[in-house]
Amino acid sequence: MSEGKARWWQEMTAKDIVAHAKKDDIAILPIGAIEQHGPHCPCGDDSYNAIGFARLISEKTGVMLLPCPMYGSHPYMHWGMPGNIPLTYETHIGLLMDIIRGAKVSGFNKFIILSAHGQVSSTIVAVHKLGLERIFTLSLHWYDMLRDNKDLLDTYMWHADEAETSVALYLFPEFVDMSKADKGHREPLVDDKFIIAPGQRPGPGMMYHFEGTFSKFEHQELSTGIIGDATLATVEKGEKIVSRVVDHVAELIEDIRKRYPAGVNPLAA
């Protein structure tokens, strides 16, 4: 898959960053979270996944990568769970906006927030606030590329499960211990037929999993820290998911490059 070296902001000089932006002014901000991922995956799972996806996308496309902030925001039910370190929504929205405003000073005009953790509660607000400042920003979660994921996986994606563990096995196997992989389930407060799981194709009238208080708090509910079946994870499934995500984002970058050459702000007045 790789065609070149990943272009990480923190490894470059200011002069080289500014020179790069004159030729290509798209930057990707990978974001994850610090969150427990069961007995078999590390608490940095989502951030490592985001960094891994971003690295491969940059190797393929040459796009600039902003440093991953590691911490993220969380849906309400994650709070109070050991291993999790959630930022408040206001902190995370401010963090995303400050990073993107800062990168803009060096000549970047188009931003893609690539998330490996469910945090639309802050990414969507950040995107709209940046839009008010005429900063072109898209945000996507890697599992948006899975709908429907039944051609790749046996189960819909939830947490520290078949999907996430497969990706982790492909991107950073050194931190995964499959001998401890387990299963775990959730009990939604309304029937699952009303809820769109991450990786599931929406049906009429269904609500996205982040559109309601559908769950009790995880520290009251989750016994293993897993939602789904991590024992189904394989490196082969992970490779297929990762290449689907990398190809999709590469296509998006190509589309933006074609429409708006470097130096052009799509939201300019």
Binding site for Zn ion (CB under 5 A): 46, 164
Q: Which residue, judged by CB position, is nearest to Zn ion in the bound state?
A: 46
**Minimum CB–partner distance for residue 104 and Zn ion (Å):** 29
* Closest by CA position to 158, among listed 191, 101, 193, 200: 200
The dihedrals phi and psi of 37, each to the nearest 5 degrees, come to -130, 50
Query: Residue 46 or residue 218: which is nearer to Zn ion going by CB?
Result: 46
Residue pair 214/188 in contact by the 8 Å Cβ criterion: yes
Query: Residue 156 or residue 260: which is nearer to Zn ion going by CB?
Result: 156
Query: Residue 24 or residue 164: which is nearer to Zn ion going by CB?
Result: 164
Query: Residue 104 or residue 117: which is nearer to Zn ion going by CB?
Result: 117
**Minimum CB–partner distance for residue 176 and Zn ion (Å):** 12
**Minimum CB–partner distance for residue 136 and Zn ion (Å):** 28
* DSSP H helices in the chain: 14-23, 45-61, 89-104, 120-132, 162-171, 218-221, 235-259
**Eight-state DSSP code of residue 36:** -
Q: Name 45's Cβ contacts closer than 8 Å, sequence gap at least 6.
A: 32, 35, 37, 160, 164, 168, 175
**Minimum CB–partner distance for residue 37 and Zn ion (Å):** 6
**Minimum CB–partner distance for residue 157 and Zn ion (Å):** 9
The dihedrals phi and psi of 64, each to the nearest 5 degrees, come to -75, 140
**Eight-state DSSP code of residue 142:** G
**Minimum CB–partner distance for residue 114 and Zn ion (Å):** 14
**Minimum CB–partner distance for residue 48 and Zn ion (Å):** 10
Query: Residue 195 or residue 230: which is nearer to Zn ion going by CB?
Result: 230
* Closest by CA position to 232, among listed 156, 150, 153: 153
Query: Residue 27 or residue 157: which is nearer to Zn ion going by CB?
Result: 157
- Report the Cα–Cα distance between both ends of the chain, in Å, rounded: 39
Q: Name 242's Cβ contacts closer than 8 Å, sequence gap at least 6.
A: 52, 53, 56, 167, 170, 171
DSSP characters for 194-228? GEE-TTPPP-TT-EETTSS--S--HHHH-SSS-BE
Query: Residue 39 or residue 62: which is nearer to Zn ion going by CB?
Result: 39
